[in-house]
Structure 1
Amino acid sequence: MDSIATLRALSDIIANAVTTVERTYKDAELSPPSLDEPFDHHAPAEALRRDPVVVAAIQNLVAAAGQITAVMRDPALYVLDRAHGFQVSSCIQAVSQLNVAEFLREAGPEGMSVKEIAARSNVDSKLLGEASLIRAVSLADATEARILRLLATHHIFREVSTDVFANNRISSTLDKGKSVDELLAKPDERLLETTGLSALVEFLSEEVFKASGFMAESFLDSSPLTPHMRAFKTDGNMFQWFENPDNKHRLMRFGIAMKGSAAEEPVGTIFKDKISGFPWQNLTAGGVIVDVGGGLGATSLSIVKEYPTFKVVNQDRAPVIKQSKAHWQEFFPEYIEAGMVEFQPHNFLEAQPVKNAAAFLLRHITHDWSDANLVIILNHLRAAALPSTKLVIIESIVAPACAGRSAHPQVNNIRILGVPRKSAPPPLLANFGVAAAPLYYYDLTMNNVLGGQERTLEGFYDVLLQSGWKLMEVYHCPETDWSHLVADPIF
C-alpha cells in the first residue's frame, strides 16, 4: 500500500470510529466527556465509554492517530520525541508528590497560579519550574512553570492563562480525593485511603523509571543484576529491597498501588458464561485449589463464592498469609469456620507440599520471573501434580505487531476459547499499535524491576513444556486483557 493510500485508510478508520462514537452518544442523548472538565468516573458519559462498541471505536481511533503521527512526522523528530518521554514521567512524579491536582481542584475552573500553589504549600515556586523533587536548584524565573506547561502541552492539565493552570479530565485522575489542608498536615498519609492511581503513577515514575535507565547495561553484560538492583545498589530483588526499613514508605506506596489496580479488575466477569474463563465447575467437588503466591487470596475467594464445593490452600510469604487470613475472615468467614480454606506459608521456589491438588492457580505470578526461575517454580508444581491436576495461569498474552499465523506449529493447534481477540484492521499494526502499548510497557517494567517478562503464547508454550506441562487451552476473559492458560502435566 503506497503512502497516500495508507493515509486515506487510516483517515477512514478515524472517520468511521468518530461516526460510531457520535451515533452511540446521540442515541443515549449524551455527549462524550470533555477534555477540559474534571474526570467523573460515575458520570453517564464515562459509563458509556465502557460500552464494547465504544471501546472498539476508541481503540481504532487511538491506534490510527498514533500511526498517522509515525507516518507523517519527521522521523528524527519522532525518535527524539520518544527519547524525551522520560521528562513527562519526571513531571508527573513531581506534580503528584506536590499535590498539584488537589490544589487545582479546590481552585476550580478558574485555576491557580504557580506562585499561589507554592506559597500555600511552602514550596519554592521555582520547584514547579525545575524537574526536582527536593528543592529548586537555580534562580530561574518562577513564572515559567515549566513542569505544568510541559504536561499541559501533552494535554495533562490546562493552562488557563499565562502561568495559571487548572485541572482537566486527565490531570484530575491524579486527585487523591483529600483536602489540601489534610495532605499538607499529614504528608506521610497522603496516599492512604485513595484509589491507588497516584500511588501507581509514583511507583512507575520513580522506582520503575530509575531502574529503566540501567536496562541497556543489563543487556550488555552477563551479570545477573537486574536494572533495579543496579539503580538502587542492592543485591536483593525489588520485594526484598522493599522490606528494608528505610524503604517503608515505598513498600506502603507499592501496596496501595497494587491494591488499587486489583480493585479495577472485574474478577466476576470470568463467570459470566461457561466459556469465558476456566470451567471451575468441571473440577471434582471437594477438590483442592492451590492458590500459589495468592496474596490475599482474592481470586480463589471469588471462585469458591461461585462454586463453594472446593477446598482452598492459599500460599504466600508468612507476612502476607497473615493478611490473607484477615481478608477471608472479613469477606468469607464461613469458609474459615467450615475448615474449607488453609493459609500456608510457602516459598514457591521450593518443593510444593500439596500433593492432591485438583488445580494449581497462578494469578499474575509468572510475569514476575525470568524463564529460568519460572521453570523452577513450574517444575515443583509438576512434581506434586496428579495426572488429573490442572495448571491455570492468569496473565496477559503479548500479541506480535505483525499479522498471520504463528511460526510455532504446536501453538496453532491450541484451543482458543472465550472472547475473540481480533487483529486490527489494516493498515493498522495487527496489535493495535500505541492503543495496546500499556502491556508492552509492563513487559519492560517486569524486566527492569524483577527480571521478569510478559509472554507471547509461544513463550508460554515453551516454558511450560520445559517444566513438564503441556499447554492445552486458552480462555480469553471478557472486559479485560487477561487470559486463562490451562496446562496438563506430562507423564
Structure 2
Amino acid sequence: MASTSRIVELSNIISHGTAQIDVYLRENNLAQPSFEEHARLSALPENAPAHLQQAHAAAIEASLELQQLLRGVDSLLMPSTDPTSLTAISRFKIASQVPLDGEISFVELAEKSDMAEHDLRRIIRFAIVHHRVFREPRKGVVAHSAASRRLAESQTLRSVVGMSVDEVWPAQARTVDALVKFGKSQEPNASGFALANNTDLPFYEYLEAFPERAQQFGGAMSGAGIAGLQALVDHFPWSNLPDQSLVVDLGGSQGHVSAFVADAVPSLRFIVQDLPKAISGTDSAYRIPNSMGDRVTLMAHDFFSPQPVEGVDVFLIRYIFHNWSDEYCVKILRNLRPGLKTGSRIVIQDHLMLQPGSLPLMKERDIRSMDLIMLSLFNSRERDEDDWKTLVENADPGFKFESAKRQAENSPSGIIIVSWNG
C-alpha cells in the first residue's frame, strides 16, 4: 500500500507550487493574486522563470484533480456552469453600468440596464458565486471585482465573452441534435449553429446579415491573426528559396502575415488572395506598408475555385483548414493544382493535435474545447499528424506529406509541410 494517498500527494503539489509563487511575488514586490477590483490579471507575469511557470501549471492541474476527487464521481457527470448569468451580463451590458472604483444599488443598476430588479439581483448573485464577476460589499449594493472590471474596460474581452454567449453556447446546445439530424454529413451548414439560428446558411454567410454579430466575432478573433508569426518564419526555410520566389498567401485577408514574412525575407514576392470583401479591407484598419513596394500584392480569389496564378513556389495556408470538413479541405488542395509545379511546397500553419495525455491537462483541455467549438460552429475539426497525412493523400497522389512539427513546446499549433511531385 502506498505510503501517501493521491489526495495528499496532490495537496503537496499545490502547497509546493504556491509557496514558490508566493516567494517570487514577494521578492519582486509584486501584488498577490486577488479577486478585488484592482487585482493583477494573472498570478504570474508573462516573463516569470520557466520553473515557476511549470510549478504554476502543476498547482492548477493538481487543484482541479483534487477538487474532482473530493467532490465525487457523480459531480463529473453534471454539465458545466449555467451560462445564463454571463449571457445576461453581456447582452444587457451590465458591467459598463457599474461605476469604476464605486458602487451602485441593485435598484439603480436594474433601471440603467432596463431589467426587473429581482431578475438582475439573482443574475448578479449567481455570477458572484460561480464566476467571481462583481461583488456585493453589502446587501443590495454592487461593485466591481477584477473580472467584471476587465469586462467593463476591455473591448476585446467583451467581444470574446459576447461571441461565447451569443454564438458558441447556443450552437453547442444544438450540436448533438445536428449529429442526429445530419448524420455523417460534411456540409458546413450541418451544424449546431445552423439549428440554433434556424438557418440553412453556414456560419460566415449567416453572420453577413448581422453586422454587429460579425463585428463582435471579428473582435474576438483579432488576437488570433498575429499569434505565431515568428514561429511561421522560424519553422520553414524561407531564406533557402531562390530569389524572387513567389509565395501565394491563401485566405490571407489584408496581407499582414505576408508582410511579416516579407520583412524577414526580402528576396521573396507575395500574392495575398482572399474574397473580394476581405481584400477591399472595409472592415480592417491594416494596410500593407509602403516600404514593401510591389513585393506584397492583393488579389481577389475564392479558394474553392481553381488557382489562377501559375508557377507558384510556395502556397501559405494559415488557419484555414480547421474551419472546414475533410471533404472541403480536399477541394481546397485540389484547386491548387493549376498553380503548382514540380517541387512546389504548401506551408500550412494550423492546429496540430497530439496524442491524448501528451500535453499538460490545461493545454489539452483548451485544444479539445476548440475541437468541439469547430464542430458546433462549422461542422469542421482539428487534426493530428495522421489526420493531416490522410487529408493530403486523399487530395491527390501528387501531394507528398513531408512533416508536421509543433511550433513551440505545449503549443496547440504546428507547421505542416506538403510538396507537389505531380
Match of 1:293? 251
SS of equivalent residue, structure 2 residue 220? helix
1:334 is the counterpart of 2:328: no
SS at match of 1:170: helix
In the TM superposition, what is the alpha-carbon distance from 1:40 to its structure 2 partner?
5.7
Q: Secondary structure at the match of 1:470?
A: strand
Distance in 1 of aligned mates of 2:10 and 2:88: 36
* Cα gap change, 1:156 to 1:437, in 2 (>3 Å): farther
Separation in 1, partners of 2:298, 2:282: 7
| Match status 1:150 vs 2:132 | no
Query: Which residue does 1:206 correspond to in 2?
Result: 166
1:6 aligns with 2:6: yes
Write out the 4+ residue segments of structure 1 that deviate beyond 6 Å after TM superposition: none
The one-letter amino acid paired with 1:167 is: H
Alignment partner, residue 171 of structure 1: 148
Corresponding residue number in structure 1 for 2:380:
452
Determine the C-alpha separation between the residues in 1 that align with 2:230 and 2:410. Answer: 10
Stretch moving more, 224-233 or 161-170: 161-170
Report the alpha carbon displacement of residue 374 of structure 1 after superposing the two structures with TM.
Answer: 0.9
Asked if residue 232 in structure 1 is aligned to residue 197 in structure 2, the reply is: yes
Alignment of 1:129-140 (within 5 A): none
Contact persistence 1:38–1:167 (CA under 8 A): no
Q: Which runs of 5+ in 2 are unaligned?
A: none
Specify the code of the residue in structure 2 equivalent to 1:474: K
Tell me the CA shift for residue 238 of structure 1.
0.7
1:123 pairs with one of 115, 132, 138 = 115
- Match of residue 59, structure 2, among 50, 55, 61: 61
Kindly tell me: are residues 290 and 22 of structure 1, through their superposed partners in 2, closer, same or farther at Cα, counting changes over 3 Å? same
Deviation sequence 1:442-484 (CA, Å, 0-9, x none): 2111111111112222222221232233142414237954322
CA displacement 1:376-419 (0-9 Å, x = unmatched)? 112222553223222111122223333xxxxxxxxxxxxxxxxx
Q: Which moved more, 1:250-259 or 1:215-224?
A: 215-224
Is 1:254–2:246 an aligned residue pair? no
CA RMSD of aligned residues (A): 2.8
CA shift, 1:107, in A, is: 4.7
Q: Once the 2 structures are TM-superposed, how far is the Cα of residue 327 of structure 1 from its aligned partner?
A: 5.5
CA shift in 2, pair 1:360/1:48, >3 Å: closer
Superposed displacement of residue 269, structure 1: 5.8
Distance 1:453 1:96, change over 3 A: same
Contact 1:471 1:488 in 2 (8 A): yes
Q: Which amino acid aligns with 1:99?
A: K
Task: Give 1:106's aligned residue.
Answer: 100
**Per-residue deviation, 1:314:** 0.7
**Structure 1: gaps of 5 or more residues:** 129-144, 178-193, 403-429
- Structure 1 residues 250, 488: CA separation in 2 closer, same or farther (over 3 Å shift)? same
Give the corresponding residue for 1:138: none
Conservation of the 8 A alpha-carbon contact between 1:59 and 1:435: no
* CA distance, structure 2, for counterparts of residue 374 and residue 74 of structure 1: 43
Give, in whole Å, the separation in 2 of the partners of 1:299 and 1:377: 20
Could you report, residue by residue, the CA deviation over 1:100-149 in whole angstroms, capped at 9, with x for unpaired residues? 323334253xx333222112344332341xxxxxxxxxxxxxxxx22122
Q: Give the letter for the 2:38 counterpart.
A: P
Matches within 5 A, 1:11-90: 11-38=11-38, 47-48=45-46, 52-80=50-78, 83-85=79-81, 87=82, 89-90=83-84
* Deviation, structure 1 residue 59: 1.9
TM-score (norm 1): 0.76
Do residues 489 (structure 1) and 420 (structure 2) align?
Answer: yes
Spell out, residue by residue over 1:172-222, the C-alpha distance to the aligned partner (whole angstroms, 9 max, x if none).
221245xxxxxxxxxxxxxxxx3x221121111111111111111222242
Gap change, CA 1:365 and 1:34, over 3 Å in 2: same
Q: Over residues 270-309 of structure 1, what are the superposed CA-to-partner deviations in whole Å (9 max), with x where a residue is unaligned?
A: 55xx4xx323222222111111111222211111122222
Alpha-carbon spacing, 1:72–1:237, altered in 2? closer, same or farther (3 Å): same
Aligned partner letter, 1:150:
F
Tell me if the contact between 1:118 and 1:125 (Cα under 8 Å) persists in the aligned partners.
Answer: yes
Is the CA contact 1:270–1:478 (under 8 Å) kept in the aligned structure 2?
no
Does the CA-based 8 Å contact 2:404-2:414 persist in structure 1?
A: no
CA contact (8 A) 2:304 2:331 kept: yes
Aligned pair 1:431/2:359, yes or no?
yes
Change (3 A) 1:46 1:8: closer
Q: Structure 1: which amino acid aligns with 2:159? A: A
The separation in 1 between residues aligned to 2:283 and 2:317, in whole angstroms, is: 19
Distance 1:473 1:436, change over 3 A: closer
Q: Distance in 2 between matches of 1:62 and 1:444?
A: 23
Q: Which amino acid aligns with 1:75?
A: V
Tell whether the 8 Å contact from 1:312 to 1:342 is kept in structure 2 after alignment. yes
> 2:407 maps to which residue?
476
1:399·1:431 contact (CA, 8 Å) conserved in 2? yes
Question: Which moves more between the two structures, 475-484 or 67-76?
Answer: 475-484
Tell me how far apart the structure 2 counterparts of residues 481 and 175 of structure 1 sit (CA, whole Å): 30
SS at match of 2:32: coil
CA distance in 2 between counterparts of 1:254 and 1:3 reads 52
Instruction: Find the residue that maps to 2:335 and give its secondary structure.
Output: helix
1:464–1:471 contact (8 Å) kept in structure 2 = no
Change (3 A) 1:47 1:94: same
Letter in 1 for 2:165: S
1:104 is aligned with what amino acid? V
Map of 1:392 onto structure 2: 347
